[in-house]
Structure 1
Amino acid sequence: MTIDDPARPETTEAPPSETADSTANTPRKAGTWSALRPLVLRLHFYAGVLVAPFLLVAAVSGLLYALSFQAEKVIYAHELEVPVGDTTLPLSQQVNIARKVNPNGTVTAVWPGAEPDASTRVLMADPDVPEGTSLAVFVDPYTGDVRGQLPSFGSSGALPVRTWIDGLHADLHLGELGRNYSELAASWLWVIALGGLLLWLGRRRKNRRALFVPEGGPKSRRRTLSWHGSVGLWAVTGLVLLSATGLTWSRYAGENIGVVQDGLGGATPTLTATLGGAADAGSEHEGHGGGHQQGGTTAQGPDIGVDKAVDAARAAGIDSPRISVVLPAEGKGYVVKETDTQFPLQLDSVAVNPADGAVLDRLAFADYPLLAKLTRIGIDAHTGVFLGLFNQLALAALALSLILLILWGYRMWWQRRPGRPVARGAWRKVPVTMLLPLAAVTALVGWFVPLLGLSLLLFLAVDLTLAAVAKVRARTGRTA
């Protein structure tokens, strides 16, 4: 990302000690890049100045979110950790303990502790917790003591602190209206990042080291640009991936991405958990099923219990220590899912008949279409659960780099005052043979990513309005 403003030649700003890279500004023969550069520069400048505030909010909240995983372990250590004992209680007994603590709730799932010192998380549908969340009852698997109760959100089991930060990052706690902010930021991030990359690579320099290593020396716009460009070069791949994965579950672009993915045969397959044999589209993410009586009978008949259901799943190949057991709703079976996102991934799932323990269906992650695999991995990486701590540190580094890039961009703008953006009409310098395909691609991308297209039209409208005002003022000045 490079918020560049070439209204005045850089050589007029830099003292003699900074002219070692002056070849970056020497005239070049007309070509594709020389025709496109003013257009890219103008778009990058305006987008960087006007969209950067949204990106800055997303980056700061994203940095807090990346750090919230470890903060969660400290804040909720009493609920999450237990003294290691000798013998664990059956899961069915732990579920019954949770029911006694909260008789008004309905147990929907059980997450056995993956580590010896981890508590068992019993998830319950409860009207007293915020909509879209479950009540997690933390049970000591050795003693049966209840360690606490907390709202739990999503498949990663976010607890209140992380849930609040996640909401801040996603929609500023403004609901559907707030989602437009994050989608706008994700829509422009890849455009600004790739535009900055082109501008940085397009500069002439005496050695390639200047591409990757920022310059030292006295404070100046040149040094700020060096840091901005070098750090942006290192971060650009991660920023583009963050943009792409963020758009996959956005409100408008996400729908278009889903249509394309389904059309290419990349839809996520579903597990058949319905007792009648029909595919259960919700079994992969089910967490709020209907009522049942564990270890006795359900609405569809006898129930073998959660322990035997897990045993049946283990026999069917579910061997990861990290699992989630979704208890059966009416007309459905148990769903036992692997939830280990460490490499190698263990994300297989099995549906078990609650009447006799027979395996209704098995879905292996290896059988997912390639696009479905990439989508799952991409979303897990964006949300910080892929590869654990390494993923979270990488997200924090990307968020911090984006914050610095934005601040450096505004600093360059300030250091160049009273400069102005590249002159209007840059598109007129682009050959028609290049301009028409470029316009067609821009229109297609603007339709596919609606907030990008609408905001780009807004930029153009503002630019045309400012041009008209400038003409009127100039005409008035001449008349006077």
Structure 2
Amino acid sequence: MAITPDITEPVAAPPTPARAPRQQSAFGGLLLRLHFYAGLLVAPFLLVAAATGILFAVTPQLEKAVYSTELTVDNPGSAALPLADQVAAARAAHPSGDLLTVRPGAGDATTQVDFSDPALDADHQHTVYVDPYTGEVTGQLTTWWTATPLNEWLDNLHANLHLGETGALYSELAASWLGVIALGGVFLWWRRLAGNRQARRLLAPDLSAKKGVRRTRGWHAATGMWLTVGLLFLSVTGLTWSNHAGANFDDVIDSLGASRPAVSTDLTGAASAAGGGHHGGMTTGGATEAAPVDPAAITTVYQSARDAGLTGAVSIAVPADANTAWSVTGNDSLWPVGRDSVAMDSTGHIVERVDFADWPLLAKLTQWGIYAHMGQLFGLANQIVLAALASGLICVIIWGYRMWWQRRPTRADRRAPVGAAPARGNWTGLPAWSVAVGLPAIFAVGWFLPLFGIPLLAFLAVDFLIATFGSRKRPAIPVSPAPLDR
């Protein structure tokens, strides 16, 4: 008899309920849109600043190539001529104008002698370059605060695109937003990798992604993580000499008594206290007669500064008359920085001294920051780091725009040239405490950094209006856990 197998029909397992898509948090949605729009609109300014910054970082090498005759000596001698003789040679080549400053040459560097020129503004001088060993004049240039014409041109290109005060707004805008964009990107990347925040995933691109947004975003985010500290440094140091934020920074430094100290060059009080009065007779009215200063005294002044311990490159400011002291200041921007200053009379007697070691800490930090931002603090290594930072920033910007293009709709019925903005989270539902704390903070930061605060307030106002009135016309669309993926 055939046995019929007992066939039991399998019971289908109940379907797993679909997980509801995660709603974008109020703060996350706001930050995502802010990072997107700030990157989209400010990135062109950052791109220009990075490209011109690379050029400015290599200025010393460019100067040596362009002005080799003026700046360097082909055959350095064993002993330099007295400094007064070098100044006399410069004066013979440029008879007009007042003698302003002298920077003695050493090694293969020429001596630089600055003269005033009525045809120039107060920021420019006429500089004569002298071979310190032979006294031969090797060239003459119109300089800007001792900087060569090439240096001035590259500096203005980076700072204001040769557009003056109006152009300076571009660099201040870039510096104001650079740190914010960098920190926002770090937060968003950290947030995206929630649950798997390994160092490799945070700091290395996802090479398993062969193409598309995921691969581009990996390079964009990982490179940005490596650059963050450097970009924050460039942002802060760049703002210290910007027009608006820089002025506010100076006010804060002054209020804290942390400004850069300078030696006093008034000899009238010093002469009276010494009892000598040897810089000029006293008139019947009690005023000191302003006798002319003898430029030949510069040899004595220079030697006295060396004897006082000022080593390396120095700049000697020539007094306008005998009632004013000579001042000698260290010019070495390499680490350790040489910025010691002494003031002395024409006999070489030191009447005041200010050493860099005695500067307030904030003044030291400001000076170090300026030198590092300009690529001078650590020499060639500093220049290489700046060039790498700027090159990395350029790559991050390009990858950012590439992601925008890769996320564009490609279907025939909804084709678009670029991707849409990130979905707006319901950020108008932020907790009351965050609004109470955030708005005053925004106004405070906006006052100190106006080119950050004004655009930020404009963005918040526009986004608030769109979120408020736009939500009445269409239902909110939930955002998936990866809202930027295609």
TM-score normalized by structure 1? 0.82
Distance 1:304 1:298 in 2: 18
Please state if 1:270 is matched with 2:250. no
Report matched runs for 1:68-467 at 5 Å: 68-82=59-73, 83-114=75-106, 116-129=107-120, 132-154=123-145, 157-204=146-193, 205=196, 207-216=198-207, 217-277=209-269, 299-300=291-292, 305-318=297-310, 320-330=311-321, 331-354=323-346, 356-418=347-409, 419-424=419-424, 426-463=426-463
- Unpaired runs of 5+ residues, structure 1, are 1-24, 279-296, 475-480
Whether the 8 Å contact between 2:25 and 2:427 is mirrored in structure 1 is no
Measure, in 2, the Cα distance between the counterparts of 1:432 and 1:88. Answer: 73
Counterpart residue number, 2:10 = none
Amino acid at match of 2:60: F
Q: Map Cα deviations across residues 165-192 of structure 1 (whole Å, 9 max, x no partner).
A: 1101111111111111111111111111
For 2:261 and 2:20, the matched residues in 1 are separated by 56
Contact preservation (8 Å) 2:57, 2:375:
yes
Query: CA–CA distance in 1 between the matches of 2:381 and 2:299?
Result: 34
Counterpart CA distance in 1 for 2:72 and 2:20 is: 63
Find the aligned partners of 1:263 and 1:257 in 2 and give their Cα distance.
10
Q: Which residue of 1 aligns with 2:273?
A: none
% identity of equivalent residues: 48
* From 60, 63, 66, the counterpart of 2:54: 63
What amino acid maps onto 2:440 in structure 1? A
Tell me how far apart the structure 2 counterparts of residues 358 and 323 of structure 1 sit (CA, whole Å): 18
8 Å contact kept, 1:35–1:431: no
State the one-letter code of the partner of 1:223.
Answer: R
Report the more deviating stretch, 410-419 or 459-468: 459-468
Relative to 1, partners in 2 of residues 1:254 and 1:90: Cα closer, same or farther, differing over 3 Å? same
Structure 1 residue 70, shift from structure 2 partner: 1.1
TM-score by length of 2: 0.81
Partner deviation per Cα, 1:19-61 (whole Å, 9 max, x = no partner): xxxxxx9977x9xx95522221111111111111111111111
C-alpha distance in structure 2 between counterparts of 1:361 and 1:96, whole Å: 28
Q: CA distance change for structure 1 residues 58 and 298 in 2, over 3 Å: closer, same or farther?
A: same
Q: How much has 1:117 moved relative to structure 2?
A: 1.4
| Number of aligned residues | 425
Q: In structure 2, what is the Cα distance between the partners aligned to 1:146 and 1:26?
A: 81
Q: Find the aligned partners of 1:60 and 1:121 in 2 and give their Cα distance.
A: 31
Tell me how far apart the structure 1 counterparts of residues 32 and 20 of structure 2 sit (CA, whole Å): 17
Which residue does the alignment assign to 1:12?
A: none
How far does residue 350 in structure 1 lie from its aligned partner after superposition? 0.4
**Equivalent residue number for residue 44 of structure 2:** 53
- Equivalents in 1 of 2:426, 2:354: separation in Å? 54
Partners of 2:221 and 2:102 in 1: how far apart? 49
Equivalent residue letter for 1:329: A
2:405 maps to amino acid: W
Are the aligned partners of 2:129 and 2:139 in contact in 1 as well (CA < 8 Å)? yes
